[in-house]
Amino acid sequence: MQLSLIIPLKNEAESLPELEAWIRRVAEGQGLSYEIIFIDDGSTDDSWAVIERLKAANSNIRAIKFRRNYGKSAALQVGFQAALGDVVITMDADLQDSPDEIPELYRMIVEDKFDLVSGWKKVRHDPLEKRLPSKLFNAVASQMSGIRLHDFNCGLKAYRQAVVKAVEVYGEMHRWIPVLAKWAGFAKIGEKVVEHRKRQYGSSKYGWERYINGFLDLLSVYFVGKFGKRPMHFFGTLGVLFFFVGFVFLAYLSWAKIVYNEYGIADRPLFYFGILALIIGSQLFLTGFIAEIVNRNSASRNEYLVEKEI
């Protein structure tokens, strides 16, 4: 099969028939063998009934329904596991992502040999109070991750099948799939300007908290990707640095006491900074040591991604 389209959804009953008809028209017009995988993330409206009716008319549709709402990351992870296509495209179900982008995304994966192509909603139909934080958020994410993308959170993305089978999406990590892919060894990541359409039905499922949660998730992805196999290198380095600074402070105060017979050393701020640095350094070093022991006893300590074997 050439193409898998994974569509997470929650309470999108009104948009599903139009979306399915649009995808079918585009895919069949390009002569692509395809499947549409709807992931119903705990909808409380008639979304599942609509999917059942669409399935009766289109055998290329597959669907999975969660018993309750687990979030977009869980929906994508289940969809990734189920996908059979050589190219996997994810898109939102609210008709803000245009299926007309599918042929070019598919071509960039197949012909241009990208591992992952992320959409960039260069012209957005969102209010200013949503666009400005999003620009700042994406600029920080680009600098921290080293991946030059303008829109990490765009739901319209295309992947080689190997990518979706290698990454594990959990929590709210769906924003950082490009970063997860990079740490998994898929370095050829591209970007395509895509159309952002106005929402026709329903309301947005996301609020301001996604920016805070997204930044915390980025820190987690960065740390686990870089130091997950060697936590002592992170905590140990910081621990030794703090311990050394504290030792220097206290050594200086001790030297001043012995040589110049200074009094009231214990009342000086430098004394408390030195003690605090020693304590923090010791705790960081022990944290790294414990994390290293946990990692060495982990069942996944020697799991690596193998691309080819002869």
pLDDT-derived band of residue 180, with 50, 70 and 90 as boundaries?
Answer: confident
CA angle 196, 54, 101 (to 5 degrees): 25
CA separation, residue 92 to residues 145, 168, 192, 196, 282 (Å)? 24, 19, 16, 11, 48
Q: Which of 56-70, 175-189, 288-302 holds the top average pLDDT?
A: 56-70
Alpha carbons 183 and 205: distance in angstroms, whole number: 29
140-172 pLDDT, tens digit each? 778 877 888 888 888 899 999 999 999 988 877
Q: What three-state secondary structure class fits 208?
A: coil
- pLDDT digit string, tens, across residues 59-87: 999 999 999 999 899 999 999 999 999 99
For 96-136, what is each residue's pLDDT tens digit?
A: 999 999 999 999 999 999 999 999 988 876 666 667 777 77
Strand 87-90, strand 3-9: pairing: parallel
**Using 50, 70 and 90 to split pLDDT, how confident is the model at 304?**
low
Query: Which tokens go with 52?
Result: 């059942």
Q: What is the pLDDT of residue 139?
A: 83
Q: What are the start-end ranges of the H helices in the chain?
A: 16-29, 47-57, 72-82, 102-110, 128-145, 161-166, 177-183, 209-227, 231-260, 269-296
pLDDT grade for 234, boundaries at 50, 70 and 90: confident
Residue pLDDT, tens place only, 185-233: 898 999 999 988 877 766 665 556 666 776 777 777 677 667 767 788 8
Count Cβ atoms below 10 Å from residue 198 Cβ, excluding itself. Answer: 9
Whole-model pTM: value is: 0.75
> What pLDDT score does 186 carry?
93
Predicted pLDDT of residue 78: 94
pLDDT for the residue 196: 86
Output the six-digit token pair for 69.
Answer: 């709402």
Can you give the pLDDT at residue 126?
67
Dist CA 181 CA 236 (whole Å):
27
Residue 295 has pLDDT above 80, yes or no: no
Average pLDDT of the residues of the chain: 86
Kind plus residue range of the DSSP H or E element containing 7? strand 3-9
With a cut of 60, say whether residue 301 has pLDDT above it: no
- Among 42-51, 143-152, 257-266, the range with the most confident prediction by mean pLDDT is 42-51
% of the chain at pLDDT higher than 70:
86
The pLDDT of residue 307 is above 80 = no
Distance CA 204, CA 96 (A): 11
Whether the pLDDT of residue 267 is over 70: the answer is yes
84 touches 4 (CB < 8 A): yes
Which pLDDT does position 143 carry in this prediction? 81
Partners of residue 37 on adjacent β-strands: 6, 62
